[in-house]
């Protein structure tokens, strides 16, 4: 890459045309679903993590040796977070449905790609 | 149908299409065009020089695709002082880091290794050797010598943004950054290093 950069600067290699099919590929719908689902899932997991992290920071002290107390807190956490995740998952489904119906993605989904519709 | 059957019918083996019928209306997902994967293209765009002081219009770009088909675009910008900056996007935010920092952090490369790697025996090409020399000299500002130091530096600077477990060391965070953001289609740091040269 560095060599190509320097070659471009010196003029021994001409600039590629990003509009030519030689430098393009097609985004298949399956990959698109994959990207979206991955991003949503990542967001859910991050939410779960940040919730736990906040609790830990707020001094929700966990004594790892006291298995009963830790187990209890952890159990409640798992419950809450799973419910949230399920809720979010149904959200993903409804968003997908909306996408197919209306032909438009929610604004905050438009990651890095232009020309959506 | 299995992948083999799909191929026999001239279809994409791992694709299930974007065709739907909703309330009696046909809906289909329009195919979008993307830059070709894992393929370096050189760009000359006047707008690149507006990115900041000493940026020029020259850059090379690669769109790297992970096995799960998600992609990261890495762009290498040429600077007026002969060195280069690597640009990537993380959570819709753009970041640039000096390429030398990445090269050193990847494999702990010595200056000689980088020089020989870029020159590729083409010693009579003085344009190239001048640029490489400038590249190597410009990095002396950072006073970092080993790969470990570079990783620690990267991890230290990106700690807040990456949002990784707080008990990870700076070096571990730096290594994670490089593994997840830079040339993601390659696995080993050595391969990434060779690709960047």
Pairs of residues, one from chain A and one from chain B, whose beta carbons lie less than 8 Å apart: 121
Distance CA B196, CA B102 (A): 9
Task: List chain B residues with CB under 8 Å of A22.
Answer: 36
Task: List chain A residues with CB under 8 Å of B68.
Answer: 34, 38
Q: Indicate yes or no: CB of A38 within 8 angstroms of CB of B68.
A: yes
Could you give all domains of chain B from N- to C-terminal order, each with its CATH number? 41-196 (3.90.1110.10)
Residues in chain B: 197
Distance CA B181, CA B95 (A): 10
B111, two tokens: 């200056």
Question: CB-based contact (8 Å) between B13 and chain A?
Answer: no
Nearest residue of B to residue A25 by CA position?
B36
In chain A, what percentage of residues exceed pLDDT 90? 0
Question: CB-based contact (8 Å) between B6 and chain A?
Answer: no
Q: Name the residue with higher pLDDT: A114 or B24.
A: B24
Task: List chain A residues with CB under 8 Å of B185.
Answer: none
User: Hey, which residues 106-135 in chain B have their CB within 8 Å of chain A?
Assistant: 118, 120, 127-128, 131-132
Q: Residue A104 has what pLDDT?
A: 63
B132 φ/ψ angles, rounded to the nearest 5 degrees:
-65, -40
User: Hey, which residues 166-185 in chain B have their CB within 8 Å of chain A?
Assistant: none
pLDDT of residue A83 exceeding 80:
no
Give the pLDDT mean for A36-51: 77
Residue A103 confidence class, pLDDT cut points 50, 70, 90: low
Q: Residue A70 has what pLDDT?
A: 58
Question: CB-based contact (8 Å) between B195 and chain A?
Answer: yes
pLDDT of residue A106 exceeding 60:
no
Q: Can you tell me which residue has the tokens 């959200």? A: A91
Task: List chain B residues with CB under 8 Å of A108.
Answer: none
Count of CB atoms situated within 10 Å of the CB of B180: 13
The answer to whether A12 touches B128, Cβ cutoff 8 Å, is no
Give the pLDDT mean for B168-197: 86
pLDDT in tens, B56-99: 888 898 988 888 888 888 899 998 888 888 998 887 788 888 88
Q: Residue A114 has what pLDDT?
A: 45
- Predicted ipTM? 0.81
The answer to whether B35 touches B60, Cβ cutoff 8 Å, is no
Q: Please tell me which of the candidates A2, A27, A38 has its beta carbon nearest to residue B118.
A: A2
Query: In sequence order, what are the residues at sequence separation of 6 or more whose Cβ sits closer than 8 angstroms to the Cβ of residue A32?
Result: B18, B29, B32
In chain B, what percentage of residues exceed pLDDT 90? 1
Q: What 3-state DSSP class applies to B129? A: helix
Residue A109 confidence class, pLDDT cut points 50, 70, 90: low
Domain ranges of chain A: 28-109
pLDDT of residue B50 exceeding 60:
yes
Q: Indicate yes or no: CB of A5 within 8 angstroms of CB of B196.
A: no
In chain B, what percentage of residues exceed pLDDT 70? 100
Count of CB atoms situated within 10 Å of the CB of B184: 20
pLDDT in tens, B106-147: 888 888 888 888 888 888 888 888 888 888 888 888 878 888
The answer to whether B131 touches B114, Cβ cutoff 8 Å, is no
Angle between helices B170-181 and B99-107 (to 10 degrees): 110
Measured between CA atoms, how close is B38 to chain A, in angstroms?
10
Residue A43: closest CA among B170, B185, B163, B73:
B163
Task: List chain A residues with CB under 8 Å of B42.
Answer: 4-5, 7-8, 13-16
Task: List chain A residues with CB under 8 Å of B62.
Answer: 1
The answer to whether B58 touches B77, Cβ cutoff 8 Å, is yes
Q: How many helices and strands, by DSSP H and E, does chain A display? A: 3, 1
Residue B158 confidence class, pLDDT cut points 50, 70, 90: confident
Predicted TM-score (pTM) of this structure:
0.75
φ/ψ bin of B2: left (φ > 0), alpha (ψ from -120 to 50), beta (otherwise) = beta
Residues in chain A: 117
Residue B104 confidence class, pLDDT cut points 50, 70, 90: confident
Mutate to test the interface with A, among B28, B31, B32 (most CBs of A within 10 A): B32
CA torsion, ordered B70, A88, B90, A112, to nearest 10 deg: 60
- Quick one: B173 exposed, middle or buried, by C-beta within 10 A (0-12, 13-18, 19+)? buried
Mutate to test the interface with A, among B12, B14, B39, B42 (most CBs of A within 10 A): B42
């Amino acid at each position: 890459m560095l060599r190509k950069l320097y070659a471009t600067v010196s003029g021994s290699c001409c600039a590629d045309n990003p509009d030519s099919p030689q430098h393009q590929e097609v985004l298949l719908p399956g990959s698109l679903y994959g990207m979206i689902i991955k991003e949503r899932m990542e967001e859910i997991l991050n939410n779960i993590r940040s919730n736990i992290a906040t609790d830990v920071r707020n001094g929700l002290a966990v004594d790892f040796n006291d298995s009963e107390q830790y187990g209890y807190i952890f159990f409640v956490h798992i419950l809450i977070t799973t419910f949230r995740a399920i809720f979010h998952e149904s959200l993903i489904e409804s968003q997908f449905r909306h996408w197919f119906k209306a032909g438009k993605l929610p604004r905050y989904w438009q990651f890095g790609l232009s020309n959506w519709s | 149908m299995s992948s083999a059957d799909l191929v026999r019918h001239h279809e994409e083996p791992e694709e299930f299409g974007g065709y739907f019928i909703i309330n009696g209306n046909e809906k289909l997902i329009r195919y979008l065009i993307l830059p070709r994967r894992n393929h370096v293209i050189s760009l000359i765009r006047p707008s690149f020089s507006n990115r900041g002081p000493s940026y020029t219009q020259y850059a090379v770009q690669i769109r790297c695709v992970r096995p799960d088909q998600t992609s990261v675009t890495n762009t290498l910008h040429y600077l007026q002082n002969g060195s280069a900056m690597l640009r990537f996007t993380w959570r819709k935010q753009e970041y640039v880091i000096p390429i030398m920092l990445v090269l050193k952090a990847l494999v702990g490369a010595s200056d000689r290794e980088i020089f020989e790697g870029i020159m590729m025996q083409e010693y009579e090409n003085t344009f190239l050797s001048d640029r490489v020399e400038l590249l190597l000299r410009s990095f002396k500002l950072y006073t970092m010598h080993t790969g470990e130091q570079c990783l620690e530096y990267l991890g230290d600077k990106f700690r807040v943004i990456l949002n990784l477990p707080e008990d990870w060391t700076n070096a571990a965070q730096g290594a994670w950054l490089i593994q997840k953001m830079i040339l993601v289609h390659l696995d080993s740091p050595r391969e990434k290093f060779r690709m960047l040269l």
